[in-house]
Structure 1
């Protein structure tokens, strides 16, 4: 079994500044409509968005180690659920990338607080 890891930490204020400066253009370039909708329902959407950004970056790092491919941010969707663990939904950009998905399993963890969001991803290949 081969194991690949990715980790990312995001200063929440960095995401806040990007949203304030670029608005929907930034949001739609980085997040799916479902992610934007889910986070916008929170009292403070910034930690929610920042945690998703961290997961995407961590997943990109692990996937790049495993397959040498840098995925687009929007091809990774973090699906949130009320009182349940979030899930990663992958939207591979092409058939070659899609073929890699059948060879791997992955797990992740995310956390956020007032100033920072962090995520780690582990990809397993048999």
Structure 2
């Protein structure tokens, strides 16, 4: 499954200026907040979580919360994500991939999630 989301960076920047870390805490874990050095990164993380929710087919809401998704970066800065154990089990996640980019005032993210099929689970 694939999910894509795009965000206007200025929208996130305005909320960051108005509400500060309280805004970031609504959708990011403390470890994720530490990675945010500028509004483009925060917007990219927002887009990533929305893309992941779309890939899962749930959206953000009753069945999936922002805090069920945790974004991290490797030593080279490449993003990845993990899901809460409850969500990973519910969706039978086999593998995941994430790409985030920002340019021209926009942040975009693409998430790919491989789930096991019922026939995979029987083998």
Structure 2 alignment gaps of length 5 or more? 117-123
Secondary structure in 2 matching 1:71: coil
Superposition RMSD in Å:
2.0
Question: Which residue number corresponds to residue 116 of structure 1?
Answer: 106
Structure 1 alignment gaps of length 5 or more? none
Choose the corresponding residue for 1:29, options 22, 26, 31. 26
Q: TM-score when scaled to structure 2? A: 0.79
Query: Would you say 1:10 and 2:7 are equivalent positions?
Result: yes
Higher relative contact order, chain-length normalized (CA < 8 Å, sep 6+)? 1
Q: TM-score when scaled to structure 1? A: 0.78
Matched length = 113
Which consecutive aligned stretches of 4+ in structure 1 deviate over 6 angstroms post-superposition? Answer: none
- How far apart are the structure 1 equivalents of 2:102 and 2:42? 10
- How far apart are the structure 2 equivalents of 1:103 and 1:81? 20
